[in-house]
Amino acid sequence: MLFQKMASHIVGYPRMGPKRELKFALESFWDKKSSAEDLQKVAAGLRSSIWKQMADAGIKYIPSNTFSYYDQVLDTTAMLGAVPPRYGWNGGEIGFDTYFSMARGNASVPAMEMTKWFDTNYHFIVPELGPDVRFSYASHKAVDEYKEAKALGVNTVPVLVGPVSYLMLSKPAKGVEKTFSLLSLLPKILPIYKEVISELKAAGASWIQFDEPTLVLDLDAHQLQAFTTAYADLESTLSGLNVLIETYFADLTSGAYKTLIELKGVTAYGLDLVRGTKTIDLIKTNFPKGKFLFAGVVDGRNIWANDLASSLGTLQALEAIVGKDNLVVSTSCSLLHTAVDLVNETKLDDEIKSWLAFAAQKVVEVNALAKALAGQKDEAFFASNATAQASRKSSPRVTNEAVQKAAAALKGSDHRRATNVSARLDAQQKKLNLPILPTTTIGSFPQTLELRRVRREFKANKISEDNYVKAIKEEIKKVVDLQEELDIDVLVHGEPERNDMVEYFGEQLSGFAFTVNGWVQSYGSRCVKPPIIYGDVSRPKPMTVFWSSTAQSMTSRPMKGMLTGPVTILNWSFVRNDQPRFETCYQIALAIKDEVEDLEKAGINVIQIDEAALREGLPLRKSEHAFYLKWAVHSFRITNCGVKDTTQIHTHMCYSNFNDIIHSIIDMDADVITIENSRSDEKLLSVFREGVKYGAGIGPGVYDIHSPRIPSTEEIADRINKMLAVLETNILWVNPDCGLKTRKYAEVKPALNNMVAAAKLLRTQLASAK
């Protein structure tokens, strides 16, 4: 099958809808306010509009099965029937009850582990596998969605998570040896992939896309051989289909590239040429004759308009290598990681708006490049793009000389606090007088509908600032009173003034722009609205001091000042791509440093600087880890290097694998770190069992806040005992895994009550054991 000359392809597309339609449909279904049929109807409408939009834009290779009710890895787990026994599934087609129980837990059993999708802020549910798992074809979603699109007149490219990447992203189930080879399960899952492929062929599919993003990781010979083995086994089943292997997020090593281009039965290779620019050298050296290159030149992870002239030059150079009919213009990865449509942004000023492209605009860019490559260049479109590129480079609003000088002056110091952490903790204890196993929460409390209404109406100028401040103060008082009633030791104000921990700070920092509907899915129904960092960053005025001081005035207990750290603000924003990321991060660090010092002056003795996304930004290649960790950890230390020994600095991290960066976490030199632990089966504790010494305060989470399930006092006490087996009593804190904003008060109150009761129970037992 030959390509048409204007060949264009989209790796994947956002699922939530331009106004978060899927989010609201999911939450309505979970709250039992709507039926499964209602949810399916919303989903079908979104899929239909996405396929139509791409078809109308002229995209030739349109993906299907990239829509998901939660995430694509969980969809694959359902397809393979790999349901952990605790969910009580007895075979047959997997329905919503089992599917969402795996994702969110239920009243009787906890959810599966959730972790970050490579180095993005998107999450996936980690498969739990072992030698005894009985795989079966239990979800026909891929075939059903292909048929659904075909009935609408759109012949799509069905997308599957590739078998090797699926296994490499899994973990051994509880009770299975940690050394168990997950890749040994390939012979058990490939028969199910064959069933799916056969059904897709029978339904009329001519193309199939396997996403194998683990090919960009540092792989050993055994792992690379698994790809060769898998696709050799699938070759006969794939016969008659055009097969695309899609990779993204980084360069391929020469070994991975060689493995990829030698895979049996494969027609085409999708490569990220935005974050994988070095891969172009491998293509120039050796590209197999007659194969097709899906060239990912349009960035699927950021919102800047493509430099069309530059991309066209890259494509023309590639065309000379792979052949005119063998080159397809594509996105670098799924557009899931960007906002949906710039048309919905009515409040962005025209200059900044001209610099941007959301998912809908990127689809247009892909097709414009494909047409230009085929000799049908839209001169007006390219000219407009060139004007916007020039405007961004020359705009005075991008550059602030004072900020650049301050950031440059940071070089030459490591910005450590003068006193070691042990001495600081002694000074802080004298001031704070906390019990052993002190209890706290991570920051946010439930965001009620009434609270969201107040914020929404204030932003729309429907209520006065005085009425807004009064409403927020009342919410803070409610949260403070509840914590005192529960007898929590170190309090938070609940963050009622914040919709999002990054957006809130970005709105108050210079160099940031904001969207109205620039929502991006993080997991399930959880959406975030990343700010856009377009210029140099500074803090014009205090951002949190008023609210933290207000909250502290309501209690005699320590009240945490709550800040988001510079690395997390960076990693959870759409970041300018015209200077190195570390330079932007240092600028943010200086802004947060000003805020920390103002909080201290206002009498806040405990300040939490969240770095939830520090691990997330770790490059996928080990050779790049040291440089990233050096500037990321340094950025955190900059924020608090000037405070007194008696001011206790906390940080928080969640939903990533931290064991491989534990020494960098120690190097952050925080006084206390709270860190996700319970949902990942207490994986974090293994690092301490292996002998790593941690001298600062630490609070591994004692229960999972992303599940509606309420843990018992006994269960939490058991978790604390496991922590005490590897950590000193005098450094251990008791806290949930993460913030509580996604939960309801009916879940939060009993869970926190049980958490405090467990801490008190252990205190009594420890005292009597002396």
Radius of gyration of the chain (CA): 26
Distance CA 447, CA 467 (A): 18
145 is in an annotated binding site: no
177 is in an annotated binding site: no
**Torsion angle of C-alpha atoms 174, 177, 182, 185, degrees rounded to 10:** -90
Q: Which of 195, 167, 25, 196 is nearest to 96 (CA)?
A: 25
Q: Which of 271, 338, 442 is nearest to 122 (CA)?
A: 338
121 is in an annotated binding site: yes
Distance CA 613, CA 337 (A): 15
Helix H or strand E segment including 406: helix 401-408
Q: Please provide the DSSP assignment of 279-333 as one string.
A: HHHHHHH---TT-EEEEEEE-SS--BPP-HHHHHHHHHHHHHHH-GGGEEEEESS
Q: Which two tokens stand for residue 394?
A: 């020359």
424 is in an annotated binding site: no
333 is in an annotated binding site: no
337 is in an annotated binding site: no
Q: Which two tokens stand for residue 169?
A: 């992203």
Marked catalytic residue, from 9, 337, 493, 706: 706
Q: Which two tokens stand for residue 355?
A: 């610099």
- What's CA 280's distance to the chain center, in Å? 27
Instruction: Characterise 542 by phi-psi region: left (phi > 0), alpha (psi -120 to 50), beta (else).
Output: beta
Q: Tell me how crowded residue 366 is: count the other CB atoms within 10 A of its CB.
A: 28
**Torsion angle of C-alpha atoms 591, 523, 32, 497, degrees rounded to 10:** 0
Contact 503, 323 (CB under 8 A): no
Distance CA 58, CA 370 (A): 10
Question: In this structure, are strands 207-211 and 8-9 parallel, antiparallel, or unpaired?
Answer: unpaired
Beta bridge partners of 674: 652, 699
Question: In this structure, are strands 63-64 and 8-9 parallel, antiparallel, or unpaired?
Answer: unpaired
Q: Tell me how crowded residue 68 is: count the other CB atoms within 10 A of its CB.
A: 20
Look at the alpha carbons of 9, 13, 18, 22 in this order and tell me if their dihedral is positive or negative: positive
394 is in an annotated binding site: no
667 is in an annotated binding site: yes
707 is in an annotated binding site: no
The 8-class DSSP code of residue 710 comes to P
Work out the angle between the directed axes of helices 36-56 and 359-373 (0-180°, nearest 10).
30
Contact 675, 652 (CB under 8 A): yes
Residue 329 one-letter amino acid: V
Backbone phi, psi, residue 528, to 5° = -125, 160
Contact 312, 319 (CB under 8 A): no
663 is in an annotated binding site: yes
Q: Which of 312, 578, 305 is nearest to 295 (CA)?
A: 312
Contact 227, 164 (CB under 8 A): yes
**706 in catalytic set:** yes
443 is in an annotated binding site: yes
Distance CA 554, CA 546 (A): 13
Helix H or strand E segment including 587: helix 581-601
526 is in an annotated binding site: yes
572 is in an annotated binding site: yes
Distance CA 515, CA 303 (A): 11
738 is in an annotated binding site: yes
Q: Which two tokens stand for residue 757?
A: 């009761």
Q: Which two tokens stand for residue 289?
A: 């004759």
Question: In this structure, are strands 520-523 and 526-528 parallel, antiparallel, or unpaired?
Answer: antiparallel
Q: Which residues are annotated as a binding site for L-homocysteine?
A: 442-444, 610
Q: Which residues are annotated as a binding site?
A: 23, 121, 442-444, 495, 526-527, 572, 610, 652, 654, 663, 667, 676, 738
Q: Which residues are annotated as a binding site for 5-methyltetrahydropteroyltri-L-glutamate?
A: 23, 121, 526-527, 572
Q: Which residues are annotated as a binding site for Zn(2+)?
A: 652, 654, 663, 667, 676, 738
Q: Which residues are annotated as a binding site for L-methionine?
A: 442-444, 495, 610
Q: Which residues are catalytic?
A: 706
